[in-house]
Structure 1
Amino acid sequence: MGDKPALVDGPTGRILSYTQLSTQIQQFAAGLDQRGFKKGDVFATFMPNVPEYAVVFLGVAAVGGINTTVNSLYSTSDLVHQFKDSNARFLLTIPEFLDRALPAATDAGIEEIFVLGDASAIEGVSAFADLLNNDGQAPSVAIDPKTDLVALPYSSGTTGLSKGVMLTHENLIANMVLSCQPNPVDENDSMIGVLPFFHIYGMVLILNLAIYRGVTLVTMPRFDIEQFLQIVQDYRITCLNLVPPIVLALAKHPSVDNYDISSVRVIGCGAAPLGEELERACSSRLGCQIYQGYGLTEVSGACHINPAAESAGKTGAVGPVLPNTLSKIIDTETGAELGYNERGEVLIYGPHVMAGYLNNEEATAHTIDASGWFHSGDIGYVDDDGFFYIVDRVKELIKYKGYQVAPAELEALLLSHDAIADAAVIPSPNEEAGEVPKAFVVLREPITPEEIMQWVAEQVAPHKKVRLLDIVSEIPKAASGKILRRVLVEQERERLAAKS
């Protein structure tokens, strides 16, 4: 690819060509080797989307290391958990994140902290550039793609503590190759990297896939509608990989009419369900095809993708299963395989299913059965044509703008407040965010909903904020004491239906 731009920093226009990318990957790998970073060691990346993300990810992979990518919204306590659980040796971050990163890194015993940018005035950190100050000669490392790990993203669980998802080289390569089949991209395309690279969607299906296919990828550290539209116009972006809230903006925001975004030929949407009406509205306004996909961190990205050419006739479908991948629907009670148009749990089998959860054999055994089938925890069905639809979740995770929020974590926090006697948290449907966390609390002492929500907001990452709260007399529970969230979810649906 030579001098062709591989990555462009959207806000500044700074370009990293394919030649420069290759050189910096080799230099970064050599820099790690010089510091004693070896095969199997873990490197934590805690920063927004910038071109250097690719240098780090592929440089760590080149020396047989493991990338643990960190949610840029994480609080210090979240960081401590991931750093300790992953046993990360090194950390790369940006100056703006040091107020959270430094205390967490100290607590977790991180050996060296690197900062992207000028680090001369910051005590206790090294400059990212120091890792590139060499001839790029790193020793060759023998890697077994089937067993050696390359990525360790963290996925929230209903227990509230995030789990490290162990992904091998084969897992990621298989997912990239297979995901290209339904909707191919090539060196003539250009993409925008606005979805976070720490998330499996951005990591595999945007960052690494773009490089694999020779695409020019323009990065954005955060979503801003005006800047997003300007980049699409200026760089003639052809393929957009998005989540429902951004599709909603493209369908309804008045600023869209002020830009020429006619270069866009296709939009892929994932991370959360996209409503049929919204899918049609965006497709009609932009005059391009929109397709949905379905995947999870545990399957290295995608497992089902709807071919764009067929998406109009299958609105709402997440598509057929990917090539070299198997999927089936089972009865949630008996485990028996179901037929067409019968709702049950979605199971996946293929070369991109994770190796397991780090330090958690019990959770791994609960999720991957003895035959190697991954149990998604999602409810869906497959139609007569082999197209899958996701309709609900067995798992109780809330998906706020694609971010996972564990109800149990918020419930535990609420119950720590002296004025709260009992609490439950559920997802409340929201057009912009998909779902927002809603709390139901039983009071022990007088306090307002606003005071409680503000108290929670001061202690959690922004996506974990409780955004709706009802004070109730009791929380519905089973005889075992388990919260009957389904009862609350149904009550919330009825409330919203009556309101509309």
Structure 2
Amino acid sequence: MISIASPEPAKPEISSPPPPPPPPSTEPRVVFRSKLPDIPISSQLPLHTYCFEHLSKFSDRPCLISGSTGKIYSFSETHLIARRTAAGLSKLGIKKGDVIMILLQNCPEFAFAFMGASMLGAVTTAANPFYTSAEIFKQFSTSGAKLIITQSQYVDKLRDIFSKENHPVLGQDFTVITVDDPPENCLHFSVISEAKDTENENEISRVSINPDDPVALPFSSGTTGLPKGVMLTHKSLITSVAQQVDGDNPNLYLTTEDVVLCVLPLFHIYSLNSVLLCSLRAGAAVLLMQKFEIGALLELIQRHKVSVAAVVPPLVLALAKNPMVEKFDLSSIRLVLSGAAPLGKELEEALQNRVPQAVLGQGYGMTEAGPVLSMCLGFAKQPFPTKSGSCGTVVRNAELKVVDPETGCSLGYNQPGEICIRGAQIMKGYLNDQQATENTIDIEGWLHTGDIGFVDDDDEIFIVDRVKEIIKFKGFQVCRFCTQKLTINYDGSLIMMEGQLQVGVIANLLWKGPILHQPRLSQNINLLGKRDFHGELSRLRMQRMDERVTSLLLVLWILQRNNVSVSN
């Protein structure tokens, strides 16, 4: 069970009533709204009902395409397997308010499990399978998860941490389900996805879900501090999806003919919301890739005629600069949506040269905001002109303001300040952290992002800075409190040690060698206080370190520039 704040974290409440309306404010302020008109939103429905509301219109159309196997699931098959998964989870004891953890790379089972949990009134917390054992355990225990769905290759990580004294016992205190051959004391995903239990299916149909009940629990550092559970409700996710794909002139125009690329991880709210949920609602097919590899990506785009690509700047860089791109036909791409980090003008132009027929634009989001705050209107059914460097305009059915960080006063056009957003799409609050919630959402319901930006004369939003406590690197957050110790081993492995949370994410993105949990006793490189990174790089290469050192040293440089401890 979950609540915004509870004196007893072991028994959080999931169905607490919505907060009272804010008192009227006497402060004169400038409020920015979308150029698109507000629309009716079916926010009283459960999320799964909303996403499959138009199922009959495209039941036989492709819904999920597995890039690794080529298997295609229609919308009717996806809905059926999700219902069976819900029945299977119910049979294992999962009920309304319970939390399940999905620890998977992109695959159809992710969608089946997420939607199945929604049908039960359960909550999903998704985690990066490349996290360390300690990071996984932290999210598992904080969320109160009762079940983990993962791949067999990650079970050893679970055994490492859960075998410790006083920790829950795998297979006894909680259930582990794998989507491939299950190791000892684990179940196969088919146990839940092929469940044909009329009694449990009838029980599912009787579950009463309040729009303010949480359905997703991603973890985010917010503007400062350690990662916290972000409670996104049925209403907030429905509102966010509707703001993008509903209405006569949707901001993100998707059709039943579209194939949407899903290479960004579904455990990231950007991909879960703007790719999976938006596609389910609009009837577009989702092409699932487990990981980014440029050759496989290009081949799949060409084979399946991908028309919409949700990307982040590193992926844009690969598409814009890699010579392999010239060997493939990318003419099917009509929209490229970049998010998670700013995209420079040079990269925009380089990618536009590769896919001149496509509309390239950016969006701006934050997990706590549901997550989309703004989106390029060039993606609309009746598109507006795009502007380089812009994150688009604020989504419809929402309000945005820019405030002076020192005084809190509202600012007008072309005046940089902190971006604030208000609307039904924002989070319910942080799990069991009332203080952090109050620090982020003020008494009038405005969510303070910690991002510095401005709105120009055309209502376009530009982000120019961030709160100093958070470092954003390639779309991932690093908070200074999370970085304690980091060592590079001479053989190209990276040593992860206690206290590292977000650094582990960055390291796994950049480093292809093994992740070790204990430092080796020799040949370790102490980077404490070292500023001559070019000299250090040369020395490392003499020890036969490869080019990946460049990227890791860049991370270390970013951390040290922000006074983050990087030591042996």
Match of 2:120 in 1: 63
State whether residues 23 and 136 of structure 1, in contact with CA within 8 Å, keep that contact through their aligned partners in structure 2.
no
State whether residues 93 and 101 of structure 1, in contact with CA within 8 Å, keep that contact through their aligned partners in structure 2.
no
Match of 1:79 in 2: 136
Greater alpha carbon shift after TM alignment, 380-389 vs 304-313: 304-313
Match of 1:164 in 2: 229
Q: Tell me whether 1:22 sits opposite 2:22 in the alignment.
A: no
Structure 2: which amino acid aligns with 1:87? G
* 1:442 CA drift (Å): 3.8
Q: Tell me whether 1:143 sits opposite 2:212 in the alignment.
A: no
Greater alpha carbon shift after TM alignment, 37-46 vs 280-289: 280-289
Q: 1:331 to 1:187 in 2, by over 3 A?
A: same
Q: What SS is found at the alignment partner of 1:314? A: coil
Q: 1:408 to 1:466 in 2, by over 3 A?
A: farther
Q: Any residues of structure 2 matched to 1:204-215 within 5 Å, and which?
A: 204-215=273-284
Q: Distance in 1 between matches of 2:222 and 2:75?
A: 38
TM-score, normalised on structure 1? 0.83
Q: What SS is found at the alignment partner of 2:453? A: strand
* 1:213 CA drift (Å): 1.0
Quote the sequence identity (%).
37
Match of 2:416 in 1: 343
Match of 2:178 in 1: 115
State whether residues 224 and 469 of structure 2, in contact with CA within 8 Å, keep that contact through their aligned partners in structure 1.
no
Q: What SS is found at the alignment partner of 2:283? A: coil
Match of 1:155 in 2: 220
Q: Distance in 1 between matches of 2:162 and 2:553?
A: 28
1:152-203 superposed Cα distances (whole Å, 9 cap, x missing partner): 0011357653111000001111111102222210111111110000000011
Q: Any residues of structure 2 matched to 1:182-193 within 5 Å, and which?
A: 182-193=251-262
Q: What SS is found at the alignment partner of 1:89? A: strand
State whether residues 54 and 208 of structure 1, in contact with CA within 8 Å, keep that contact through their aligned partners in structure 2.
no
Match of 1:495 in 2: none
Q: 1:325 to 1:395 in 2, by over 3 A?
A: farther
Match of 2:105 in 1: 48
Match of 1:131 in 2: 192
State whether residues 222 and 368 of structure 2, in contact with CA within 8 Å, keep that contact through their aligned partners in structure 1.
no
Q: Any residues of structure 2 matched to 1:27-42 within 5 Å, and which?
A: 27-42=84-99
RMSD: 3.0
Match of 2:147 in 1: 90
Q: Distance in 2 between matches of 1:384 and 1:49?
A: 40
* 1:127 CA drift (Å): 1.0
Q: Distance in 1 between matches of 2:244 and 2:258?
A: 16
1:227-270 superposed Cα distances (whole Å, 9 cap, x missing partner): 11111100111100100111111111111110011000110000
Q: Distance in 1 between matches of 2:101 and 2:438?
A: 26
* 1:216 CA drift (Å): 1.0
1:80-123 superposed Cα distances (whole Å, 9 cap, x missing partner): 1100100000000001111213334556525111111122xx21
Match of 2:519 in 1: none
Q: 1:126 to 1:303 in 2, by over 3 A?
A: same
TM-score, normalised on structure 2? 0.73
1:384-434 superposed Cα distances (whole Å, 9 cap, x missing partner): 111110011015322222122223211x3369xxxxxxxxxxx9xx9xx99
Match of 1:492 in 2: none
Q: What SS is found at the alignment partner of 1:113? A: strand
Q: Tell me whether 1:217 sits opposite 2:292 in the alignment.
A: no
Q: Distance in 2 between matches of 1:159 and 1:209?
A: 29
State whether residues 159 and 409 of structure 1, in contact with CA within 8 Å, keep that contact through their aligned partners in structure 2.
no
Q: Tell me whether 1:394 sits opposite 2:485 in the alignment.
A: no
Q: Distance in 2 between matches of 1:47 and 1:175?
A: 24
Q: What SS is found at the alignment partner of 2:241? A: helix
Structure 2: which amino acid aligns with 1:129? S
Q: Tell me whether 1:6 sits opposite 2:75 in the alignment.
A: no
Match of 2:238 in 1: 173
Question: Normalized per residue, which structure has more strand?
Answer: 1
Q: What SS is found at the alignment partner of 1:141? A: coil
> What stretches of structure 2 of length at least 5 have no aligned partner?
1-57, 488-502, 511-525, 541-548
Query: Whose RCO is larger (CA < 8 A, sep 6+)?
Result: 2
Match of 1:293 in 2: 363
Q: What SS is found at the alignment partner of 1:61? A: helix
Q: Any residues of structure 2 matched to 1:326-341 within 5 Å, and which?
A: 326-341=399-414
Q: Distance in 2 between matches of 1:4 and 1:224?
A: 27
State whether residues 157 and 406 of structure 1, in contact with CA within 8 Å, keep that contact through their aligned partners in structure 2.
no
State whether residues 378 and 386 of structure 2, in contact with CA within 8 Å, keep that contact through their aligned partners in structure 1.
no
Q: 1:276 to 1:30 in 2, by over 3 A?
A: same
Q: What SS is found at the alignment partner of 1:333? A: coil
Q: Any residues of structure 2 matched to 1:456-475 within 5 Å, and which?
A: 467=554, 469=556
State whether residues 158 and 408 of structure 1, in contact with CA within 8 Å, keep that contact through their aligned partners in structure 2.
no
* 1:328 CA drift (Å): 0.7
Q: Distance in 1 between matches of 2:553 and 2:151?
A: 28
* 1:4 CA drift (Å): 2.1
> What stretches of structure 1 of length at least 5 have no aligned partner?
416-426, 454-461, 477-482, 489-500
State whether residues 220 and 229 of structure 2, in contact with CA within 8 Å, keep that contact through their aligned partners in structure 1.
yes
Q: 1:233 to 1:468 in 2, by over 3 A?
A: closer
Structure 1: which amino acid aligns with 2:425? H
Q: 1:201 aligns with which of 266, 270, 285?
A: 270
State whether residues 291 and 311 of structure 1, in contact with CA within 8 Å, keep that contact through their aligned partners in structure 2.
no
Match of 2:8 in 1: none
Q: Distance in 2 between matches of 1:232 and 1:13?
A: 13
Greater alpha carbon shift after TM alignment, 69-78 vs 309-318: 309-318
State whether residues 312 and 341 of structure 2, in contact with CA within 8 Å, keep that contact through their aligned partners in structure 1.
yes
Q: Distance in 1 between matches of 2:162 and 2:154?
A: 12
Structure 1: which amino acid aligns with 2:407? T
Q: 1:124 to 1:374 in 2, by over 3 A?
A: same
Q: 1:105 to 1:31 in 2, by over 3 A?
A: farther
1:63-87 superposed Cα distances (whole Å, 9 cap, x missing partner): 0000000012210010011001000
Match of 2:396 in 1: 323
Match of 2:485 in 1: 413
Alignment length (residue pairs): 443
Greater alpha carbon shift after TM alignment, 152-161 vs 329-338: 152-161
Q: What SS is found at the alignment partner of 2:145? A: coil
Q: 1:198 to 1:394 in 2, by over 3 A?
A: same
